[in-house]
Structure 1
Amino acid sequence: MKHELGHYLSQTAKELQPSGIRKFFDLAASMEGVISLGVGEPDFTTPWSIREATILSLEQGYTSYTANAGLLELREEITNYLNTRFGVQYNPKNQVIVTIGASQGIDLAFRAILNQGDEVLIVEPAFVSYGPLVAIAGGTPVPVSTSPENGFKVTPEQIEAAITPKTKAILLCSPNNPTGSMLTKKDLIEIAKVIRKHDLLVVSDEIYAELSYDEEFCSVPALEGMYERTILINGFSKGFAMTGWRLGFLAGPEELVSVMLKIHQYTTMCAPHMLQHGAIEALRNTYDEVIAMRNSYRRRRNYVVQTLNQMGLDCHMPGGAFYVFPSIRATGLSSEQFAEELLMQEKVAVVPGHVFGESGEGYIRCSYATSMSQLQEALKRIQRFIESKGVQAKPQPQKVEVE
């Protein structure tokens, strides 16, 4: 007789929903001939010098624990990088933690700052893990919806309207996953006024900072009055093509970082030693390759956005990351119906927009972090699919910049 174990589980854990991204990724992986535009992962292999440095560290026997916060040498490189690239200064000894990806950094931040019932504003559409991580830490996620009319950018007025006496923090992700929208320095200065007025903390997910195409990226703690109230999250996955390495970092005021370090000590101990040597090499010697990857993504972005608009799917021009977020409302299908039928009929995997929050309904997320030939074939299939739903192409005269 089967013993029922559900009553042993925490209510919070039971109520968590599986990732909507993984659902379609796993389904696509089980089918032959599928082109996946689903998972946000660079199609580039990690630069060779990073891999070589890691192999060498293994050969030299660097297989022990490191300091809980990570190798001091790596933390020094991280602080040099943040200062040089974004104009923010941190003490590598007590203001930086090397994490298991940026995701662990976000988890540590929420666990460190939230009490039961504290509210965190989350700008939606938003990456699928944000709300669940707030809930796991005992907080309450409060969505703040954006729209394509404003390029999916949140406004100071929207933030002001969502704040209650229980609001403790806001999570900002710019460039954004899934929309690709990017908050400019001017945008952030106005948002920062509201944040300071209400004495909020900011968890700033800057994992896509290196993938900013049209304007200079602005790091939140670099703004006046924001350094002391911001937990900066970043990492190596996207800009350095190191997703599987699971290496990230967080930086912030010592008083906050010291508490996050205690949680990190008990839950993780430290990031893998040999991989940290690879990250040192990444920060020291591979920036030319980061630039080359960024330029390739930019060309693909231009091609994909114009092609989607020409075929009849309205799509704003994202300022960063490697996603487009076109409207599929012209087809009359829901986001989930569109993604399922497209996968079954044309073998193209995309992510339905509703998994990123209610304001994502009516949209799909497509990653253009794949080869131009794959993108061209995928877009042909998408056009064939939407034509079968009665959507008419809208020829436009602009030239498309391709690789």
Structure 2
Amino acid sequence: MKHKYIAKRYWKDQSTAMGQSDVMARAFDDVINLSLGDPDLITHELIIDKAFADARAGHTKYTDFRGDPELRAEICRFYEEEYGMDVKDEEVFVCASACLGMYLALEAILDDGDEVILQAPYFTPYPQQVELARGIPVELATYEEEDFQINIERLEGLINERTKAVVINSPSNPTGNCLTVETMEEIGRIAEKYDLLVISDDIYTAFSYQNPFVPFGSLKGMKERTIILNSFSKNFTMTGWRVGNIIAPEYIIKVIQQINENVVFTAPSISQRAALHALRNRKEVQPSMVEEYRSRVFYAAKRINELKGMSVIDPPKGSFYLFINIKETGLSSEEAAEAILKEAHVLMLPGNAFGSCGEGYLRIACTVNNQVLGEAFDRIGRMKLFGGK
């Protein structure tokens, strides 16, 4: 948007396929929207009831600047119980979403011109979040033929004197990949060798289907150089509550707190109470939700691999996304997404929205039930492009 009253750094259009998905979803009356990772299930009634009881009891004011003390204590307890990690209260900050948490972390650690290596394909906002903090994003490509694992030689080849941090995401949005412990240990070795920070985006930890989730920060020697980003959005179907948390060394948390006081002051008090009850009752509210999305992802993978011109890693490893290889069609990601929307009225996101190495792929979010997913793939299967008559 070029205008004299708009900052020149925003004159160039920076809109993304993800940002335009709501407009595209209205292209037809019967669109099946597989574009955004906003779960169709609502937050568990136990969480809602307890949060609103707390609201009626007076939890409607600002909380402590680092977050509700009860929630911080519950986060520390969670990491001890689930992963054997010793997380101290001073290392926890509650934020109004992990998206904001990423910006706060980058703003706290980056000097102008510092470089941040991004595991790609990446969550679409990463590059602009780095740029907002006056850093330079650097794409680290991963590939399906390498199981979307980070290649350590490629990682090391991107490091220079301006490299400050590496961002990893496992289970991954958009690929659904999970980094192996061996890969993470190699990343840790590189981080120590070059004295780097690792920002670990741990948003889909409940959705690790093949192996139990292992936090990068729990690896030997990594806690002191790791910034963990967490969210309640996906692990507890709480996207609209906008609450997450950061775990990092105390000196980083102190700076993050100072920055956040000038952005949103504190995360919403009622949302923090909801997060508290989600953690306390996770063994009751999580299993059925996780199993539902697992069922959908496995079903969708089966249907995809039955189509001509489409394929996906099977069995899926994590998250509720699938990164569909459409290279056999000869179309670009954007061409394939457009054709599917126009002919089948199914909305997917082009893979190049997640970095240049995402070209040749489409991402779907399995946020509709199996019946609707079945209808989506029935429609796609009738397209000549994918084997229909």
Q: Same fold (TM over 0.5)?
A: yes
Q: Which amino acid aligns with 1:254?
A: E
The equivalent of 1:153 in structure 2 is: 149
Residue 266 of structure 1: SS of its match in structure 2?
Answer: coil
The equivalent of 1:401 in structure 2 is: none
Q: Which amino acid aligns with 1:295?
A: E
Inter-partner Cα distance in structure 1 for 2:29 and 2:83: 44
Inter-partner Cα distance in structure 2 for 1:195 and 1:5: 41
Q: Which amino acid aligns with 1:108?
A: L
**1:26 to partner: Cα distance:** 2.4
Q: Does 1:143 align with 2:139?
A: yes
Q: Which amino acid aligns with 2:311?
A: D
For residues 320-370 of structure 1, give each alpha carbon's deviation from its aligned partner in whole angstroms, at most 9, with x where no partner exists: 111111111222221111112211221111001111011111100011122
State the TM-score, normalized to the length of structure 2: 0.96
Q: Does 1:47 align with 2:49?
A: no
Residue 29 of structure 1: SS of its match in structure 2?
Answer: coil
1:365 equivalent among 348, 363, 368 = 363
Residue 257 of structure 1: SS of its match in structure 2?
Answer: helix
Instruction: Give 1:4-403 correspondences, 5 Å limit.
Output: 6-15=3-12, 17-29=14-26, 31-92=28-89, 94-312=90-308, 313-317=310-314, 318-385=316-383, 388-389=384-385, 391-392=386-387
**1:52 to partner: Cα distance:** 0.4
Q: Kindly, what percent of the aligned residue pairs are identical?
A: 37
In the alignment, is the contact (CA less than 8 A) between 1:179 and 1:324 conserved in 2?
yes
**1:84 to partner: Cα distance:** 1.5
- The answer for unaligned runs of 5 or more in structure 2 is none
Inter-partner Cα distance in structure 2 for 1:157 and 1:88: 29
**1:392 to partner: Cα distance:** 4.0
Q: State which drifts further: 204-213 or 187-196.
A: 187-196
For residues 207-245 of structure 1, give each alpha carbon's deviation from its aligned partner in whole angstroms, at most 9, with x where no partner exists: 111110011111011011110001100010001000111
Q: Which amino acid aligns with 2:323?
A: F
Inter-partner Cα distance in structure 2 for 1:266 and 1:140: 24
State the TM-score, normalized to the length of structure 1: 0.92
Inter-partner Cα distance in structure 1 for 2:120 and 2:341: 25
Q: Which amino acid aligns with 1:283?
A: L
| Residue correspondences, number | 386
In the alignment, is the contact (CA less than 8 A) between 1:323 and 1:368 conserved in 2?
yes
Q: Which amino acid aligns with 1:116?
A: D
- The answer for unaligned runs of 5 or more in structure 1 is 394-403
